[in-house]
Amino acid sequence: MAKRAVYPGMFDPVHNGHVDVIQRSLQIFDELIVAVVANPSKQPLFSVKERLEMIDEATSELSNFRIVAFDGLLIDLVARERADCIVRGIRAVSDFEYEFQMALMNRKLRSTVETVFLMPHEKYTYISSRLIKEVASFGTSVAGMVPPIAEKRLTEKYPPK
């Protein structure tokens, strides 16, 4: 039986740490579903459609995964997709505390689903979408931190100064 996992996130924007976690997940699972959260209350910089497009282009050379948008509870998406596992990327201990709480809540809601924490390559551990947006908002290049498509879209939102 194929092992299917869901990797959820805002991906606002997708960065190289996200891509690294996707690649690592594909080495472990038979199929991966990258799930873009459509939560407008977080006031994302990019629309769901833009985030889906950026992930699609950034991962165009990869296979055995698909990208979906969702709102509502992650655990409901996991059930609809018949997934066995949730993948969460963690960069530091500070990420772990929140992710650990979420994993326990998801286990309480659906005991058959496991959560796996993956660390991106150490060269990406300082990268977060929040920091990427902050740096880009000053017109500073984020080349090397995000895929080229995300860099292009950020430059359109925040022209260089």
Catalytic residues: 18, 42, 91, 129
- Residues ≥6 apart with Cβ < 8 Å to 128: 15, 17, 91
C-beta separation of 115 from 86 below 8 A:
yes
Kindly state the greatest CA–CA separation across the chain. 53
CA within 13 Å, CB half, 67: 24
C-beta separation of 135 from 127 below 8 A:
no
Q: Is 107 helix (H, G, I), strand (E, B) or coil?
A: helix
C-beta separation of 36 from 68 below 8 A:
yes
